Amino acid sequence: MRRARAALARAVAEVSGRALGPYQSAVVRIGFAGTWLFFLLREFPHRAELYGPDGPWSQELAQRLLDSNGAFTVLTWSGSALWFETVYAVAVLASAGLLLGWRTRATSVVFMIGVLSLQNRSVFMGDGGDNVIHLVAIYLVLTRCAQVWSLDARRARGRGSATAGAAGPVLWGVLGVVFAYGAATGRFSPGWLAAFAAVWVVCGLWWLVDRREPEGEGRAVLDVLANLLHNAGMLVITAEVCLIYATAGWYKIQGSRWQDGTALYYPLGLDYFTPWPGLSALLAGSGTLVMLLSYGTVAVQVAFPFTLFNRRIKNVLLVLMMLEHAGIAVLLGLPFFSLAMIAADAVFLPTGFLVWTGARAAALRAAALRVVRRPERSPAGPSPAPPPPETGLRPDAALERGTG
């Protein structure tokens, strides 16, 4: 009993004492925000047909569906083109802000609102990748995904707090006005109204405590709550990825085309899924290669959830799955689906690899800055003196401090 209690106490202290996987959560944040941002920019010329007033899915049909399923979108608040353009522009800006980790608590909420609003406005425009973005956009609100590799982490190192500056209160003030308008006009269902109210109140309380008593007991209590929510969010993302691969693999096993190893042959012959017809024809012409890829896809997807406790095997299968999605992006012309799945897979990347990658990127950035700042050599004068040594933190030390 003593050992069990000690183990339980250590587990509780680990889960509540710090946000686990800060590098993995940062990669997930960057991956999903970047994927959605690139999608919105790519479809910018077609935005009105996809999600706006020019689409085949009319405002009336969208409202009838929302009344039946209780989904959330702000695009049905008004049918004007100006309102749609505003929401689309805010979704683009929120994606860029979340990608950079700028005022992440606020931008993660706006990012979620943008994703839900656009996707729930036209439910027939999405695919599997959009469903993953839809879910992860909600989970990211719960996480502390800007502890590293973000402008918030940089502000915390330079100014002592990630909430420093006036931009945060302004953003939350604007969000408060929007939430108040939605509540007063009955735009929110009771569940969404309670969720948005809780987020707004808790984040306002966090800002107040962080400004008044950053080292007090109130801040410690909020840190514990934030760590618990973060770790729960990361656990849900992990379970979601495992569930996606497990169900995909087991459903494939039941299909006759996957059983005889010919499943990949058929999409390679469809014009819609052949951006490179010559490459697709070359691959489809090899029956052995099609069979190996078909069986290998099923084997990797079914086996992956069972390898999480074996680090080496898990890492090998993780690389294979990322390569599989890269192949889907190139061969089948589904880049955003593949980017979304690769971003979801990143939750399993080893911490050591991410720290090394971040340190190398910081070193390359520092070297590039030194080259840019080096004065040009005069053709007639003496060589300039070398620049003084930098007084800031080393890149790896800065990353270590950024983990909080």
* 309-339 pLDDT tens trace: 899 999 999 999 999 999 999 999 999 999 9
Which of the residue ranges 28-37, 157-166, 212-221, 383-392 would you say has the lowest mean pLDDT? 383-392
What digits encode the pLDDT tens for the residues 239-252? 999 999 999 999 99
Tokens of 216: 């007090």
Which one of 352-356, 375-379, 387-391 scores highest in mean pLDDT?
Answer: 352-356
What's the pLDDT at 392? 41
Greater confidence (115 vs 388) lies with 115
Greater confidence (10 vs 240) lies with 240
What digits encode the pLDDT tens for the residues 55-89? 888 888 998 988 888 889 999 998 899 999 999 99
Long-range contacts of 111-114 (CB under 8 A, 24+ apart): 111/33, 111/36, 111/137, 111/140, 112/137, 112/138, 112/140, 112/141, 113/74, 114/36, 114/87, 114/90
Q: How confident is the model at residue 42 (pLDDT cuts 50, 70, 90)?
A: very high
Which is nearest to 54 in space by CA: 36, 74, 77, 80?
A: 80
pLDDT mean over 134-150: 95
Which of the residue ranges 201-205, 212-216, 243-247 would you say has the lowest mean pLDDT? 212-216
Who's near 340: CB < 8 A, 6+ residues apart?
31, 32, 35, 129, 130, 132, 133
Show the DSSP H helices in 185-267 as ranges: 190-212, 217-253, 256-259
Cα 5 to Cα 10: distance, rounded to the nearest angstrom: 9
What digits encode the pLDDT tens for the residues 265-308? 999 888 888 899 999 999 999 999 999 999 999 999 999 999 98
Measure the CA dihedral 250/252/256/260, to 10°. Answer: -100
What's the pLDDT at 118? 95
Which of the residue ranges 32-41, 88-97, 99-108, 154-163 would you say has the lowest mean pLDDT? 154-163
Across the chain, mean pLDDT equals: 88
pLDDT at 168 over 50: yes
